[in-house]
A and B are shown apart, each in its own frame.
Chain A
C-alpha cells in the first residue's frame, strides 16, 4: 500500500491524526487516548496488517515526551511510524500495547526505566536495567547525577 492510500486510511480511522512530512517512513502523530484502539485496528485489519512492531523508543523533547512506534507489515511489506506525545513530565501515562504486540512488554519497561513514562495495563511495569531504588530517570535531558557521571 503506498503512502497516499495509507494516509487516507489512517486519517479515516483517526481524523485528529497529524501527518508529518519528510520523514523516512509515513509518520502520524495521534492523541494518546486513541492509541490503543488505533493499534488494535492496525494489527487486526486485513489490508493494513501491521503485525511487526520493530522499534519502540522514547524521546525527550524538553517540553514533552514522544513515544515512537515503528510498525511493519510482514504480508504487505509497508511500514509506518506512530507517535504519541505525553506532556506531563512527572506523572506521564500512556496506554500499553503489550496485548497487541508482545515485544512491547520489554520495550515499555525500558522506557519507564530510562524516561519515567508509565504505561497503563502493563502486566509487570518495573525497572529493567537499573536497580529498584535508583533515583531519577537517566535518559531525560535534565537528569543530573554528580556522583556517578564524569562530564566531558
Chain B
C-alpha cells in the first residue's frame, strides 16, 4: 500500500498532541512500537465473520507478520478483542464481562457490518444489538459482510497507527479532540 494512501485518515492526525513532553518522547516511541507490533487478540468469533478472521490468520493472508502471533483463549492474557459477528441481547453481558476482564491497555476492532451497526439484521428483529459500540467502546470499525481478509489487515494497521499516537503522560486520551 502506498504511504500516501495509508495516511488518508485525517482524524487520526488530529489526535496527535500539540507540543508535548520532550522528556518521554523516546520512551513513548519504544513503548508504542512494542505495543503496536505485538497485539495478541482474544479468540472471539460469533458468526460468519469468524471464518474470515480464521482465513486472515491462515497461510495466505498471514496476520502473524503484523505481530498477531497467537490467539489467546483467556481474556486476562489478551490485548485486543476482534468482535467478529453479530452480538445479540443474550450475548451482550458476556461480551461486557470479557471486555472488563481484559487488562489495560486493551483495544477493540468491530469487524463486519453486524458489529459495526447491526448489519443485515437491523430491521424487523427483536434480539440483535445494532452495533457493538452500544456495549463496549470501539477503536476501529471494519465494514463489510464479511470483510475481506485484506480489509481486516487494513483495520489492524489503522489500529497500529492509533496505538503509535499514545504517550506515557497521556495514555488513551484520544477522546480529547480539540
Whether A91 sits at the interface, judged by CB under 8 Å, is: no
Whether A41 sits at the interface, judged by CB under 8 Å, is: no
Whether A138 sits at the interface, judged by CB under 8 Å, is: yes
Select which of A131, A148, A152 is within 8 A of B126 by beta carbon.
A148
> Quick check: B123 and A152 within 8 Å, CB to CB?
yes
- Give CA–CA (A149, B126) in the complex, Å: 5
> Quick check: B124 and A151 within 8 Å, CB to CB?
yes
> Quick check: A130 and B130 within 8 Å, CB to CB?
no
Chain B residues lying within 8 Å of A138, measured Cβ to Cβ, are 126-127
Please give the distance in Å from A109's CB to the nearest CB on chain B: 15
Whether A145 sits at the interface, judged by CB under 8 Å, is: yes
Q: Knowing A130-B90, A131-B90 touch, does A145 contact B126 (C-beta < 8 A)?
A: yes
Whether B101 sits at the interface, judged by CB under 8 Å, is: no
- Give CA–CA (A138, B126) in the complex, Å: 8
Whether A46 sits at the interface, judged by CB under 8 Å, is: no
> Quick check: A152 and B90 within 8 Å, CB to CB?
no
Which residues between 116 and 143 of chain B lie within 8 Å of chain A, taking CB atoms? 122-127, 130
Question: Count the B residues whose beta carbon is within 8 Å of the partner chain — how many?
Answer: 9
> Quick check: B124 and A152 within 8 Å, CB to CB?
yes
Counting contact residues on chain A (CB < 8 A from B), the size range is 10 to 19
A149 (CB) vs chain B CBs: closest residue = B126
Please give the distance in Å from A96's CB to the nearest CB on chain B: 25
Select which of A129, A131, A143, A150 is within 8 A of B123 by beta carbon.
A150
- Give CA–CA (A49, B61) in the complex, Å: 53
> Quick check: A151 and B123 within 8 Å, CB to CB?
yes
Please give the distance in Å from B87's CB to the nearest CB on chain A: 13
Select which of A131, A143, A150 is within 8 A of B122 by beta carbon.
A150
Chain B residues lying within 8 Å of A149, measured Cβ to Cβ, are 124-126
Chain A residues lying within 8 Å of B125, measured Cβ to Cβ, are 148-149
Chain A residues lying within 8 Å of B122, measured Cβ to Cβ, are 150
- Give CA–CA (A1, B127) in the complex, Å: 44
Whether B89 sits at the interface, judged by CB under 8 Å, is: yes
Select which of B89, B90, B124, B127 is within 8 A of A150 by beta carbon.
B124
Given contacts A150-B122, A151-B124, A152-B123, 13 further A-B contacts (CB under 8 A): A129-B90, A130-B90, A130-B127, A131-B90, A138-B127, A148-B125, A148-B126, A148-B127, A149-B124, A149-B125, A149-B126, A150-B123, A150-B130
B residues adjacent to A (C-beta < 8 A): 89-90, 122-127, 130
A residues adjacent to B (C-beta < 8 A): 129-131, 138, 143, 145, 148-152
Q: Show 19 A/B contacts (Cβ-Cβ < 8 Å), sorted by A.
A: A129-B127, A130-B90, A130-B127, A131-B89, A131-B90, A138-B126, A138-B127, A143-B126, A148-B125, A148-B126, A148-B127, A149-B124, A150-B122, A150-B123, A150-B124, A151-B123, A151-B124, A152-B123, A152-B124
